[in-house]
Structure 1
Amino acid sequence: MRLQLKSFTTAGLVLVALALPGAAAGADPIQDDSAPPMKMLRLESGLAVPADGRFRSKAQEQAFSDAVSQAYAQGASDAELRDDFGLVNVSDAPASPKPQSALPSAAHQQAAAAALDEPTKAEPDDPSRGCTTGGVRTNGTNPDKFFVGAPQFYKAQGPGNPGFVVIAKWRWNDGADPTAGVSTCFANVGGRDGVGLTLSRNVTRLSQSLSICPYNVKCHAAGSMADNNARGAAFMFQDQASSVGSNSTSGSIAVSFRYLQPAKCHQAFAKYWHTWQETAVTGIGVGPYSLSVEWNSHDERWTRAGNAGNNGKC
């Protein structure tokens, strides 16, 4: 490419500028039209977003985070996250194992029904729903049947500090939350459950996402925001179950961010709060490497926390 030299005098000084041939007046003189076009990622929703995290808008970052969260909850491997989203796992902690089949076996259903001796909540049958309640049981389940994974840190494409996603997954170990007895209708299992993720250092938070995976359909975004700040995010959502499965056999929570201290060790952990009968999560707070919860009752509830994950610099 041939450059043209132009000079002019102002206040006794001779200034020299480089101009590109054919450049319009006022155009950026250092723009290189031969530069390759920006690489884009096509999300499952059809939306195209920049692969380089530095160039995504706020709305694009939220869509990207939602898509990553849903893929991770669905069981995407590190290789699939790299190929589909350009993300590279930089964590030291091992990734959570993939969940078992979400559809519970007949033996599981029988054992679950036998374990729930007394119906604690019943709803009348509603033929318009195309299902039968049969006395919806909403007892709690053993927290040992519930797994919360160590958060994983993924780096987006781009040099320097282009953006990162930290994401944690949970699942029912036996494939479903067996709390609805013989009902074939989905019924609320107590009040809302909660899930949160917190970081050990402040970051520039870009977006946050919650995904849940019903036993019979693909994972999808869900929940309402309970709290978010420079240390992470938390959500609340209503879990439901029937005799054949749950609306949240597994799920994930994700926070996309940029470092304020890129060279430092960053850790993260996640927590899940489960309720049944009349108990509900009413609030969650995200603090400095801490998560707090408010309930409407001291009974019918439990908390499950996962191990810490880190960004590979600890």
Structure 2
Amino acid sequence: MKERALVGEMSDPGRLVLLGAPLGNPADASARFRDVLATADVVAAEDTRRLNRLARDLAVSVPGRIVSYFEGNEERRTPELVEVLTAGYTVALVTDGGMPSVSDPGYRLVRAALDAGVPVTAAPGPSAVTTALALSGLPCDRFCFEGFLPRTPGSRRARLRTLAAEERTLVLFEAPHRVADALADLAAAFGTDRPAALCRELTKTYEEIVRRPLGELADWAAENEPRGEITLVVAGAPARPAERPDDDTLRAAVAAREAAGLSRRDAITEVATEYALRRRDVYTITHT
């Protein structure tokens, strides 16, 4: 670990910079990523060896002090880094790939820095979430990110039951040794025909995108035992038509729209569309 003494307090707080790191290909590192690495007083890295290797690949010298910051030590190290920040120094936070805090260490430090009045900014970079979403071939206009599913089968299945009716495209991270079981549970909860994609080793030499219905994808994973960093993308549930209200409610809905200025014809059309009913049926109900 590189050591550089940080002595003397400055009048203003420093700043915390979140660095979006390449998912695998060093060429994806931004110019700002390189600049921050070369100028930060402290670089907190999820894996210091990976950081040093990345710096060598980028031909970037890191003169600042490099410290480890990972799940096992972030509770202890966070106050130390906040002390450095409040003394006026710049701390860069980098994880093994993607943006810190997003299913990676970082949230605890971000929250502590903000509570201490320290500015927090970012040098944005690659994201496994949006990269997998864009490559999946599934709708991207609305999506939700669920991170890692629970590790135990019972908790995982319970979580999936709550997500089965979600209409937005779903993005998940999963460990290779659990992905086959997770896909089998997804197929059971969402249906075997729900479109999905398994994205493996994004931007790396052995990048692979497998796009199949959940049932087929679960069988493929069980047979092939995929390895590496895995992101799953699953199509949202089909939109459910609104429940048909009783006739009095339909009449009141049409009357409310007329009172708001719509013509009787437009009011009937709007109510019929909202509840997936035939316009003729709504017309008949409002005239009886």
> When the two structures are superposed, what TM-score results if normalisation uses the length of structure 1?
0.22
Whichever structure has more helix as a proportion of its residues is 2
- Name the structure, 1 or 2, with higher relative contact order (CA <8 Å, separation 6+): 1
> When the two structures are superposed, what TM-score results if normalisation uses the length of structure 2?
0.23
